[in-house]
Amino acid sequence: MKRLPLSLALGAMLVSPLSLAKTVEAVASFTVLADIVKQVGGDRVHVKSLVGPNGDPHTFEPTPQDSQALAGAQVVFVSGLGLEGWMDRLISASGYRGRVVVASSGINSRTMDEEGKTITDPHAWNSMQNGVIYATNVMNALIRVDPDDAATFRQRGAHYIQQLQSLDHWAKTAFAAVPPEKRKVLTSHDAFGYFGQRYGVTFLAPVGFSTEAEASASDMAAIIRQLKAEQIHTYFMENQTDPRLVQQIAHETGAQPGGELYPEALSEANGPAATYTAAFRHNVDAMLQSMKP
């Protein structure tokens, strides 16, 4: 029997189905969505987040490196609902011609009237019920891109969705135990509308859906009057926004700081909100703490 040279024999032993498994190159618009892709995809997916930790997806300005990342991607994930106003320009500049997956597809969106215009609220992921829709859309998209690994994506996706459903139930139960008049929170901008709708929490903010919006003097006066009338004594900063505006309101009302929330950007890996689920749990815990008598 003819024998292989030792080097070739060792090489054949080292080659396994796992080592031959391909990795899907994915790009996600911001950290929350990138983490969902990572949790569903596992080691079968390499995902780059365009907006980094503690970054503001409203005011993000893409770089040439971001364009290069899109050019080499097999699939691009966006949240949609108007969050990534810069994405179309970036896709055009990169020459990307692949699939763009809108993770919010199927969600009943919220709107508000802002200066005579109807604006869609893009922060759908802050309701964990919607997070399940995001994860399902991501799972189905990865299966389309890499059908050979469909079983892995389905298994990981189902396990992750169960985690999100458990968190949703936990948050609903926890807030239901708080008297409605205590379920009120002051934040920097209106990023928690879906959260408030799902969990029965009222949010007050000096500016609207986008951090690029500016609060007028009348807006400031109105929210200060409301905070005093409703006796809201705690305010929260957001990790991706300038805190000075909400601090000014707090100074006028005597509200005390309740900590930092993570509505649209995860923290660094060693921070308290390094994943989507960790950010949600942190936000819920911080709010509940502020509502205690």
Task: Note the pTM of the prediction, 2 decimals.
Answer: 0.84
Lowest mean pLDDT among 41-45, 87-91, 199-203, 209-213: 209-213
pLDDT at 253: 65
Same domain? For 33 and 159 the reply is yes
Backbone angles phi, psi at 147, to 5 degrees: -65, -20
Q: Above 60 in pLDDT, residue 73?
A: yes
Q: Above 90 in pLDDT, residue 96?
A: yes
Same domain? For 137 and 208 the reply is no
Q: Are 28 and 49 in contact (CB under 8 A)?
A: yes
Residue 19 belongs to some domain of the structure = no
DSSP 118-175: EEE---GGGSHHHHHHHHHHHHHHHHHH-GGGHHHHHHHHHHHHHHHHHHHHHHHHHH
Same domain? For 38 and 160 the reply is yes
For 113-126, what is each residue's pLDDT tens digit? 777 788 899 999 99
- State how far the Cα of 61 lies from the Cα of 71, in Å rounded to an integer: 17
- Segments forming the whole domain that contains residue 149: 24-166
pLDDT at 17: 46
Same domain? For 116 and 205 the reply is no
Q: Report the percentage of the chain scoring pLDDT > 90.
A: 63
For 184-223, what is each residue's pLDDT tens digit? 888 766 789 999 999 999 887 654 434 444 555 666 666 6
Helices (DSSP H) in 52-116: which residue ranges? 64-71, 87-94
- 222 or 38: which carries more pLDDT confidence? 38
Domains contained in the chain, number: 2
Q: Above 60 in pLDDT, residue 25?
A: yes
pLDDT at 235: 73
Residue 16 belongs to some domain of the structure = no
Same domain? For 225 and 143 the reply is no
